[in-house]
Copies of this chain bind each other. A is one copy, B any other.
Amino acid sequence: MKKSRTTSTACSRRPGRPSPSFLIAQVGAHAASQFAERLRKLKLVPQHSGILRILNSTPGITQQALAATLEMVPSRLVVLVDDMEQRGLIERRGNPEDRRRYALHVTEKGHSTLEAISRIAREHSQALLAGISEDEQQQLATLLQRIADQQGLTRGVHPGYRHSAHDGHGGFE
């Protein structure tokens, strides 16, 4: 029953060997779900981690600008921001002239959560990349960054934000 699962007529250029583009999607989905699994211990989802990282590097960013960076519908972002504010991870500092222009900041609790996320991200990386050397990891990162740049992806922003939850590998539409 285990015979010839490696044959992949639809996605390979060489029979029996998955194509680079299939491997990117396959290992990428695995990496994302492994990281999400680890974050669950902190009761966080990957979006929380991504938003904390962006606010940490651009303190005071407005909700509007954050939605643009994440290519995310503002109404969906509001739900995430509300949740993170309620949990004390971030705070909105008022702009009395325009509610949409509230500036977002990481709280002290948010900073210690970021440190916990960093630890988890390191553990995740070590486990995920255990099969290749440090040099090979850098080689891989260089190639993937060149693809990301040529494809116009924003550095440090996972494209998952802009999609509906079932996009990519779900649903019938």
Contact = CB atoms under 8 A, between A and B. Distances in A.
Contact of A5 (B46, B57, B118, B160): B57
Given A57-B7, A58-B4, A121-B10, A46 B148 contact: no
The prevalent SS among residues of A at the interface is helix
Nearest to A54: B5
A140 B143 contact: yes
A131 B146 contact: yes
Query: Which interface class (under 10, 10 to 19, 20 to 34, 35 or more) fits A?
Result: 35 or more
A19 B52 contact: no
Contacts of A18: 141, 145, 155-156
Interface of A: 1, 3-11, 13, 17-33, 35-36, 40, 45-47, 49, 52-54, 56-58, 61, 65, 69, 83, 114, 117-118, 121-122, 124-125, 128-132, 136-141, 143-151, 153-161, 163-173
Contacts of A170: 45, 160, 164-166
B36 A28 contact: no
Contacts of A144: 20, 23-24, 26-27, 140
A132 B147 contact: yes
A25 B31 contact: yes
Contacts of A138: 20
